[in-house]
Chain A
Amino acid sequence: MLTLRLLVLFIHVTAVIVALGGSLFSTFALTPILAEELDAPSRLKVARRVIRRLGAIVLTALAVLVFTGILNVMFLGSVSTVLIVKLVLVAVVIVLALYQYGSLGAQVWRLSERGPDPAIAALQARFRRVGITVGTLVLIIVYLSLGLTRGGGAIILAALR
């Protein structure tokens, strides 16, 4: 029952849930509620802390995904076009997440130190857009993963064509 393969798969799936769930919760639940319920200075205070903490959680989860993913490739024992597409998408997701938290998030964090700033709203909107893109790409990756393990890579490729 408890094999190394299952344990690695469990960590891999948990990392996906953490990365995707965190991003979706922040984008679709937390941000709209903050905008409705809090005044600008308080909202900013919460948002800047959320950005930093969520960044740590999401980027760490993505790193765990990469290492458990390489182990999963070993267990799968097969390299296909779908897997290559998936790996490229993973690289794009990490790069976008780094840009989101390491560039946009850091700018929001720094600008908000001195209180509300007119430049922050635009940065936050961009931050949200990149977050949605990352979430969408992760969903595509999840679909490709299911195709690799359950449906067979050829089926997905045929559907894409």
Chain B
Amino acid sequence: MNARMASEDKTNSTPKRTPALLGRLTLLAVLVGVISTLSYSMSMPTMIRQGHPDFGAWWDLNQFYFMEGAAMALGLLVGIRIGRGFVSDTAARACGANVALVLAIIVLIPLMHLCGDAARIAWGSRVIVTQGVTIGHMHLAGKPLDKVLMTGVYFFKTAGFAALSGLALFAVAAVAFIGTGKSSEEQTAAA
């Protein structure tokens, strides 16, 4: 069945093209995510503070939230895009993605804390590692590569939970529009 779905995707590649907005937002989330994750794990604010004390202090306070927000946004966008790929109805795909995007913006902050908390649960453990402990642990122990790896794992765990949420948001949004538009097959035939 997967092969059949994949072949359908290939034949309908033109109508299933990712909209520019979703693509740009994904790129932005990746960019912010990479910068903030590297900055957080490599203690960049200390270096920034030498040249720009005020900005360095502000970045030190907020870089974690930028990283968490970027992971959340990336996950939600990936989830919406994956869900979009499995719907052939044009209205459900286009309007569903737009509505899901609006819903994602609304729930971004509350979900960011929820998914962040879930991602901080250690493997096989019953203890949630708090942000403070994570910062302390990363700054006190480990080589630079270890710190990047640990922060990267946290980033991807948050993004993973967010991707599931994105899929769910798209499912809720798309369901209202199912049956109201043409299918990809009909669009291809018309073209």
Judge whether B163 is part of the interface by a CB distance below 8 angstroms: yes
| B172 and A63 within 8 A (CB) | yes
Contacts of B128 in A (CB 8 A): 77
Q: In angstroms, how far is the closest chain A Cβ from the Cβ of B5?
A: 6
A residues 58-88 touching B (CB-CB < 8 Å):
59-60, 62-63, 65-67, 69-71, 73-74, 77-80, 87
Q: In angstroms, how far is the closest chain A Cβ from the Cβ of B124?
A: 6
Q: In angstroms, how far is the closest chain B Cβ from the Cβ of A51?
A: 8
Judge whether A91 is part of the interface by a CB distance below 8 angstroms: yes
> Interface centre among A106, A129, A130, by most B CB within 10 Å?
A106
- Interface of A with B (CB < 8 Å)? 52, 55-56, 59-60, 62-63, 65-67, 69-71, 73-74, 77-80, 87, 90-91, 94-95, 97-99, 101-103, 105-107, 109-110, 129-130, 133
Give the A-B pair count, Cβ closer than 8 A.
Answer: 126
| A73 and B121 within 8 A (CB) | yes
| A87 and B170 within 8 A (CB) | no
- Interface of B with A (CB < 8 Å)? 1, 5, 8, 82-83, 86-89, 92-93, 96, 114-115, 117-118, 121-128, 160-161, 163-165, 167-172, 174-176, 178-179, 181-183, 185-186
Contacts of B185 in A (CB 8 A): 107
| A77 and B121 within 8 A (CB) | yes
Query: CA–CA, A105 to B1, complex, Å?
Result: 16
